[in-house]
Chains A and B, each alone.
Chain A
Amino acid sequence: MAIEIFEFKGGVHPEDKKELSKNSRIEQLDAPEIVRIPLSQHIGAPAKAVVKEGDYILVGQVVGEAGGFVSAPVHSSVSGTVRKISTFISAPFGVPSLMVEIENDGQYRSVDFVEHENYLDLEPKELLKIIQNAGIVGMGGATFPTHVKLSPPPDFKIDTFIVNGVECELYLTADYRLMLEEPEKIIEGAKIVMKILGVDSGIIAIEGNKPDCIERIGRMVENEPIEVVELPVKYPQGGEKQLIKAITNREVPSGGLPMHVGAVVQNAGTVAAIYEAVRFGKPLIERITTVSGEAIKKPKNFKVKIGTLASHLISNCEGFKKPPKKIIFGGPMTGFAQYTLDIPVTKGTSGILAFTDDIVKEYEYTACISCGSCVRACPANLVPSFMSILIEKGLFEEADNNDVLDCIECGCCSYVCPAHRPLVHMFKLGKAKAMEIRRAKQNK
């Protein structure tokens, strides 16, 4: 049964560069001698440390308790002794945050995991508790606590559940390899989520540049209440709002959430992690990460323990072909540039990319020439040119009135701008300032 697809306006078509790593089978990577596990790997309150220097801990042991409902616990991915609780600064958070440094003893002794063979017989409340205690957050990069997303208030009836297997970012092939090599985890995980949400059917959305996944998973769900939907290749097709529009033709209202249009979307990796937590009792302690980019000798996809430093992953790719100009966590359109390789992989690190200086350049930018490329590229149907001029002049309230808070920071506008204006950078600033002004008004 073919579903009608509702294309979103705008978007761009860059070369996806996935050929660099798409044929590399997932490689299980052991953690290095020192592992650094941040206590804030999610949106919401950071976890609170419950271990101290000198403690001996096991794989799967809670090292940080959730800091509230909109938060998540953090678990150890290795067994060993806690060296110290240190502070570090890295993107995307940009503020000093705590991390637990553990000396990996290489034994991987773990806590007892509670398995559930008949997981679909569990009640939604029990399933949610397992997910919450397993510390699962959105692994597409947003890192929103999953148990919160899967508990919409009762006034919002959910009728659509979509597994996001689109992976529209350039270079990244983590979800692709997961769908190819471990599809049963995604399918079973989807069924668990459908049980929690109370929906009868689910959709797995995959972009047309992954025909092998579409075919394979399509066959596997023939007798399941799940349908595979092929979406046209366009960035950012994997953006939550654009994905919901494609499948349901409903637009998430400005300032609203997907649940306001009856939809819930989860990344394919998150869904697989849900299955592992419910079936095998495994907390979120490892993930699939693509290491790629023109500066990497041998791009690969790793199943890597949370807390492994980027330097360890890169040396397992035979190091750099040429000295890198930029190291990015995430994809090139939305990822964060890092200043050092001593940054650990966290729950949301879908990719580590290293670029040479012919791929990434420093640009001097000029005034906006009103060419309209950004207007045509914007998937949120905004006018980036005008918003950027307001922000340049410091008119943040005006920028708010011109919808800067609706920007999804996808990067399409900056990608096409011939004046090389750092539009997304301006909007990140503009959004922060606009929120400040709104909060100040509320507090009056």
Chain B
Amino acid sequence: MEKKLLLTSSPHVHCGESIPIIMYNVIIALLPATLVGFYVFGFPAIKVVVLCCVFSMAIEYGWQKLFKQKISVFDGSALVTGLLLGLNLPAASPWWVALVGSFVAIVIAKQVFGGLGHNLFNPALVARVFLLISFPVQMTKWMKPVLAGSFWHPDIVTEATPLGLVKEEVMLHGKIIHAKAYSIFDLLIGNTGGCIGEVSALALIAGGLYLIYRGYVRWHIPVSFIATVFLVTGIMWAINPQVYINPIYHILSGGLMLGAFFMATDMVTSPITEKGMIIFGIGCGLLTAVIRLWGGYPEGVSFAILLMNSVTPLIDKYVRPKKFGFKPTN
């Protein structure tokens, strides 16, 4: 007797990719930056990141159980959101910031819209901005990097971020003085203040290039985003180097590398065509530069990406490939 044969539509073979594979590769790509963050900020950083990951996954599981939905938490997307959220927080964040942030990311920015694939905004960024606006003190308490300090109980000595320093000095003194003390080397390896994941540009670039090489991230958004920031800040620096710091400093500091490679490239919330991705990247770059140079905040990446997320459906509606055999209607 024949065992039952499977009847489904063509095609009958598959390339083998899956959502968990994509998510776990993103986590692998984030590991260098995560480990640098742990090393630079010590145990508090480990606590924040682990709590965000655990809370994010637990909240998603709880929500889906509560509403009798299919449990999808093992597809890796909640873990990626938790990791990205943790990397976007200052190392000194208290546990409840991790909890509130995870709740906002998973429930408000993702599950309420219908879960993975339906969200309009990048969940980790929604949470980060929510926390920034609601708890500005906690969210700007930047730790001094502890490359030579005690790992388990580092002194929570605060230090401004590279961009924060620039904004402060320009506001107070009308020009840049000490910000130049942060060398390119410091910015590349992570010897600066900032949130856990953003300090080492080198680690972030390495992870980003890995994802591009594997094909999980297209180069269009990171390149157009970073290039636009470089261009705009470069033009302003050329006009007035006393007040505007040089463009290399800009692209290596702040959340730009983290944002350009890992957050703006979030598949669900960015355009689906490559032309659309370039428009998206340029938009993010322009907004980031404008906020950094003339806005109230020293850092603009999170706001820029969220604003462009809201424009993604519009970009996808109008930026389409020309179909094969396209007949222009006369």
Which chain B residues in 292-330 approach chain A with CB under 8 Å?
316, 320-327
Chain B positions within 8 Å of A425 at CB level:
8-9
Interface residue A283 (Cβ < 8 Å from any Cβ of B): no
Is B175 at the interface (CB under 8 A from chain A)?
no
Whether B11 and A415, one on each chain, are in contact in the complex, defined by CB atoms closer than 8 angstroms, is yes
Shortest Cβ distance from A250 into B: residue: B325
B1-20 vs A, Cβ < 8 Å mask (1 yes, 0 no) = 01101111111111101110
Distance between Cα atoms of A368 and B316 in the complex (Å): 14
> Do A8 and B324 form a contact, CB below 8 Å, given A355-B12, A367-B118, A369-B268?
yes
| Contact residues in B for A359 (Cβ distance below 8 Å) | 13
Check B267 for interface membership: any CB of A closer than 8 A.
yes
What CA separation (Å) do A337 and B12 show in the bound complex? 8
User: B240 an interface residue at 8 Å Cβ cutoff?
Assistant: no
A360 within 8 A of B: yes
The answer to whether A414 and B14 touch across the interface, beta carbons within 8 angstroms, is yes
| Proximity string of chain B (108-133) to chain A, C-beta cutoff 8 Å, 1 when within and 0 when not | 00000011111000000000000000
Identify the stretch in A179-187, A219-227, A374-382 within 8 Å (CB) of chain B at 4 or more residues: A374-382
What's the Cα separation between A255 and B15 when bound, in Å?
30
A285 in contact (CB, < 8 A)? no
The reply on A30 being an interface residue by CB < 8 A is no
- Main secondary structure, interface of A, reads loop
Min CB–CB distance B145 → chain A (angstroms): 36
| Interface positions of B from 267 to 291, Cβ below 8 Å from A | 267-270, 272-274
**Is the CB–CB distance between B325 and A336 below 8 Å?**
no
The interface centre, meaning the residue of B5, B75, B116, B218 with most chain A CB atoms within 10 A of its CB, is B5
Interface pair B5/A325, CB less than 8 Å apart: yes
Q: Contact: A369 with B15, CB < 8 Å?
A: no
B324 in contact with A332 (CB, 8 Å): no
Residue A69 is within 8 A (CB to CB) of chain B in the complex: no
Contact B273 A375 (CB under 8 A): yes
What are the residues of chain B within 8 A of A159 when measuring CB–CB? none
From the candidates A9, A333, A420, name the one contacting B13 in the complex (CB within 8 A): A333
Give the size category of B's interface with A: 35 or more
Say yes or no for B177: interface residue by CB 8 A criterion: no
CB of B6 within 8 A of CB of A416, answer no
Q: Are B19 and A383 in contact (CB under 8 A)?
A: no
Cβ contact of A367, chosen from B7, B15, B22, B116, cutoff 8 A:
B116
Known: A252-B325, A254-B327, A419-B117. A336 touches B6 (CB 8 A): no
Which of these, B14, B17, B325, contacts A256 with CB under 8 Å? B325
Residues of A within 8 A of B326 (CB): 251, 253-254
**Do residues A386 and B267 form an inter-chain contact, with CB atoms below 8 A?**
no
Known contacts: A323-B3, A375-B272, A428-B9. The answer to whether A366 contacts B117 by CB under 8 A is: yes
Q: Does B72 contact A (CB under 8 A)?
A: yes
Please give the distance in Å from B5's CB to the nearest CB on chain A: 6
The smallest C-beta distance from B114 to any residue of chain A, in angstroms, reads 7
Q: How far is the CA of A424 from the CA of B12 in the complex (A)?
A: 11
| Partner-A contacts on B (CB < 8 A) | 2-3, 5-15, 17-19, 21-22, 72, 75, 114-118, 218, 267-270, 272-274, 316, 320-327
Interface, chain A (partner B; CB < 8 A): 8-9, 12, 14, 170, 241, 245, 251-256, 323-328, 330, 332-341, 355, 359-363, 366-373, 375-376, 379-383, 385-386, 403, 406, 409, 411, 414-420, 422, 424-425, 428
13 A-B pairs (CB sep. < 8 Å): A252-B324, A332-B13, A371-B267, A372-B267, A372-B274, A380-B325, A381-B321, A383-B273, A383-B321, A403-B323, A406-B323, A411-B10, A422-B8
Please give 10 more A-B residue pairs, beta carbons under 8 A apart, in addition to A253-B325, A326-B7, A386-B316.
A9-B321, A14-B13, A170-B13, A254-B323, A359-B13, A366-B75, A370-B117, A370-B268, A371-B267, A424-B10
The 6 closest A-B pairs by CB, nearest first: A411-B11, A367-B117, A425-B9, A254-B325, A418-B17, A381-B321
